[in-house]
Structure 1
Amino acid sequence: MSAITIAMHWAMRLDGALGVAVVDYVSRMTLGTLGEPDGLDLTRAASGGTDVVRAKLSAMELIGYAPARLEDILITLDTEYHLIRPLTRRRHEGLFLYVVLDRHRTDLPRARRELRQIEHLL
């Protein structure tokens, strides 16, 4: 199993995890998905996340935060959290995890900590 596949399996262990994808935000290519959130095309949602990542990185550069590390981006919906976590290890540069979480079953601070640990294990 590749490191990316292992990371997706670990992310699916998070309380309330509904789906996870790994995306290359340079090419907009979804490298893998796991899970099936109700009514959500995970591949399309994750691919659309590239626009969010690109916009935030561009905004950070514009205001002079270029050297700062983008830890994650949270999108809050009425029943879900969509958490985008760019992977910063050189080997995975340009990739991000896109995790869909059930808002009512997820401890968000804990999910963020666990995603940080998953990234460190890659």
Structure 2
Amino acid sequence: MANVETSLKEAMAIGGSLGAALVDYGSGMALGTLGGGKDLDMSVAAAGNTDVIRAKVRTMEMLGIADEIEDILITLGSQYHLVRLLKSRGGAGLFLYVVLDKANSNLAMARHQLRRIESELEM
């Protein structure tokens, strides 16, 4: 079982990873961040992606879609922003957020690795 710090380090080990955060989407607060920098404030990005999740959940409710979000992908010109909602072992209400350099990452592998990180995370 991995803790928050270990999980974030594993997320940063994903090929092309620029930053990672574990976020409570009820409050929008990051429980931990790694990476980022002056051009990528992970706390600001984490809070902003909380709004994305809330909007998608609201939309699904309005459409009557009775399903769960696995992950959300936002594709920029040079980056992937991957949001993985946690469902295992006390992870409800949390998401893993990883920013990847598009030129140096494998999106399918990153999604696979985030699923593995989620399965090992102990909250």
Quick check: TM above 0.5? yes
Which amino acid in structure 1 is aligned with residue 30 of structure 2?
T
Secondary structure of the equivalent of 1:81?
A: strand
Aligned to 2:105: 106
Match of 2:86 in 1: 87
* 1:1-122 equivalent positions in 2, closer than 5 A: 3-37=3-37, 39-66=39-66, 68-122=67-121
- CA distance in 2: counterparts of 1:90 and 1:16, whole angstroms: 28
Unaligned regions of 5+ residues in structure 1, if any?
none
Provide closer, same or farther for how the CA distance between residues 90 and 55 of structure 1 changes in structure 2, counting only shifts above 3 A: farther
Segments of 5+ residues of structure 2 without an aligned counterpart are: none
Spell out structure 1 runs of 4+ moving beyond 3 A: none
- TM-score of the superposition, structure 2-length normalised? 0.92
In structure 2, distance between residues paired with 1:116 and 1:100: 15
Q: Provide the rounded CA distance (Å) in 1 between the counterparts of 2:78 and 2:50.
A: 22
User: What CA RMSD, in Å, does the superposition of the two structures yield over aligned residues?
Assistant: 1.3
Q: Tell me the percent identity.
A: 51
**Residue identity opposite 1:96 in structure 2:** F
Q: Given that residues 80 and 102 in structure 1 are in contact (C-alpha distance below 8 angstroms), is that contact kept between their aligned partners in structure 2? A: yes
Aligned letter for 2:31? L
